Amino acid sequence: MDFKWLEDFLVLAETHSFSRSAELRGVTQSAFSRRIRALEEWLGTDLLSRDSYPVTLTPEGVLFRETAEEAVRMINARRAEFRDHARSRGGEISFLALHSLTVTFLPGWLMRLKAAAGQMTSRVKPENFDRCIEALTEGGYDFFLTYAHPQVNIPLDPSGYPHLVVGHDSLVAVARPGWPEEWLTDGMPMLKYSRGSFLNAMARIALAQPGAPKVYIAHTDEASMAEAMKSMAVAGHGMVWLPRLLVEAEIETGRLEVVAPELPMEIRLYRNAARGRGITGRVWQAARELGEGYAKPE
């Protein structure tokens, strides 16, 4: 059960309107409706009577409203207590990041960031691109670390979510050495990310570049985990587009080889400007200085 479902339900119990509640929660009405339905399925009962307008609570919904209010109050109080404790130790900073960045770029960069910004604790949530955008705009996190490319839209208003370029990587097509010669004539088997994933959009751009190999889809990873796709490539299932930082060691040791031109990518840090605590300003300035000192590879 997702905690935000409780908050969604309480807003709906107050407004009696799906459209108004979705607006207040900063999501589409269809997404909001799915979350309410997911809560009902988790509880095993209907919380709302949808036969009338405005919507009303069922008897079970009335009972559960009291439970939800108490749960949200207690969780928020405990969260505030923990955060006060973290601030007494220098403050806590929270990050959302794409999965692959949490195992390549973020560990070393975060160490340099803490050295530059001063004492703090950090909280990192690895997620896929869409969930990161949703969590950042809902206001629960300070920063979002992501790949970026001019041809891929990042749906964040620059006035509310400014960004810095803090590093660079590239998307590289790799396969296990010694692959059959027929791959050159019949096409390489390609490992594909799920349709809506960020790396799938990047891979489509990379495949459109001059010099990209002829391919056919051999496997689709519905979880779109770059680390899992790397393991598939090392095992010989086909070629896959991966961040170079993720496969640098495999390329150097000959377990994988590059089979197409690379696609440059920025590594960006987005900030939720509404979260203007003093520590976020220090971290933003430190990230800016680290980014200015980062030499883009030729």
Residues 210, 150: one domain?
no
Model confidence band, residue 224 (pLDDT cutoffs 50, 70, 90)? confident
Q: Give percent above pLDDT 70 in the chain.
A: 94
Helix (H, G, I), strand (E, B) or coil at 127: strand
Residues 149, 201: one domain?
no
Model confidence band, residue 233 (pLDDT cutoffs 50, 70, 90)? very high
Question: 16-54, pLDDT tens digit by residue?
Answer: 999 999 988 888 889 999 999 999 999 999 999 888 788
Last residue of a domain, one of 85, 108, 143: 85
Query: Does residue 298 lie in a domain region?
Result: no
Q: Which domain holds residue 13?
A: 3-85
Residues 72, 124: one domain?
no
Give exposure, 178-201, as e/b (b: 16+ Cβ within 10 Å): ebeeebeeeebbbbbbeeebbbbb
Residues 117, 60: one domain?
no
Question: 236-273, pLDDT tens digit by residue?
Answer: 999 999 999 999 999 999 999 999 999 999 999 999 99
Question: 73-103, pLDDT tens digit by residue?
Answer: 888 888 777 766 655 555 788 999 999 999 9
Query: Does residue 297 lie in a domain region?
Result: no
Residue 233 contacts residue 194 (beta carbons within 8 Å): no
Tokens of 31: 């997404």
Distance between alpha carbon 231 and the CA centroid of its chain, in Å? 21
Residue 257: phi and psi, rounded to 5, are -130, 150
Residues 161, 183: one domain?
no
Query: Does residue 7 lie in a domain region?
Result: yes
Look at 52-61, 112-121, 234-243, 287-296 and tell me which has the smallest mean pLDDT. 287-296
279: domain CATH number is 3.40.190.10
Evaluate if pTM is beyond 0.85. Answer: no
Query: What is the C-alpha separation between 292 and 298, in angstroms, rounded?
Result: 16
Query: Does residue 189 lie in a domain region?
Result: yes
Residues 184, 210: one domain?
yes
Residues 204, 139: one domain?
no
18: domain CATH number is 1.10.10.10
Residues 51, 101: one domain?
no
Q: What is the pLDDT of residue 85?
A: 62
**CA pseudo-torsion sign 160, 165, 169, 173:** positive
Last residue of a domain, one of 22, 53, 85: 85
Residue 164 contacts residue 269 (beta carbons within 8 Å): yes
Q: What is the pLDDT of residue 275?
A: 80
Q: What is the pLDDT of residue 297?
A: 41
Number of separate domains in the chain: 3
Model confidence band, residue 222 (pLDDT cutoffs 50, 70, 90)? confident
Q: What is the pLDDT of residue 118?
A: 84
Q: What is the pLDDT of residue 87?
A: 56
Instruction: Give yes or no for residue 281 having a pLDDT over 70.
Output: yes
Which residues neighbour 13 within 8 Å (Cβ) at sequence distance 6 or greater?
A: 57, 61, 65
Query: Does residue 146 lie in a domain region?
Result: yes
Last residue of a domain, one of 37, 69, 85: 85
